[in-house]
């Protein structure tokens, strides 16, 4: 009789990214991505944040926003209190970006980033 040992493994989706945010005390802000003919608009809700505490970076078509809260935010779920100090979110953008002409504005807790599309091409003369 042969010895057939089988190992069963159940793989569940990882919740580590969620735990990491709780452990590092980081909230993910609400955001909205809208596409227009020649640009994208990305908006982030950043309540309880001052303009000086917002950092926006762009690297390889990924826009990342980090912001420090003016004061610690606490949330209670299932009897456990979690305190947060930062917002952080990254948004991947499709297509080619004109990264030299990105603009942003921050007003009343709302960050708006306008990202122009990079349009390549040449005009073809029709005879």
**pLDDT score of 80:** 84
Buried b (16+ CB within 10 A) or exposed e, 9-45: eeeeeeeeeeeebeeeebbebebeeeeeeebbebebe
With cut-offs at 50, 70 and 90, classify the pLDDT of residue 102: very high
| Residue 127 confidence (pLDDT) above 70 | yes
pLDDT in tens, 27-51: 899 999 999 999 999 999 999 999 9
Q: Which domain holds residue 102?
A: 50-114
Domain for residue 90, yes or no? yes
- Counting the structural domains of the chain, the total is 1
Assign residue 63 the CATH number of its domain.
2.60.40.790
Length of the chain: 127
| Residues of the chain above pLDDT 90, percent | 46
pTM of this structure = 0.73
């Amino acid at each position: 009789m042969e010895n057939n040992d089988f190992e069963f493994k159940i793989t569940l989706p990882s919740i580590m990214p969620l735990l990491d945010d709780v452990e590092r005390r980081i909230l993910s802000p609400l955001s909205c991505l809208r596409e227009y003919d020649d640009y994208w608009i990305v908006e982030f809700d950043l309540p309880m944040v001052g303009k000086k505490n917002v950092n926006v970076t762009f690297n390889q078509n990924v826009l990342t926003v980090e912001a420090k809260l003016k004061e610690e935010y606490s949330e209670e779920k299932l009897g456990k209190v979690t305190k947060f100090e930062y917002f952080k979110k990254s948004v991947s953008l499709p297509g080619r970006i004109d990264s030299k002409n990105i603009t942003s504005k921050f007003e009343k807790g709302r960050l708006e980033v306008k990202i122009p599309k990079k349009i390549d091409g040449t005009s073809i003369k029709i005879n």
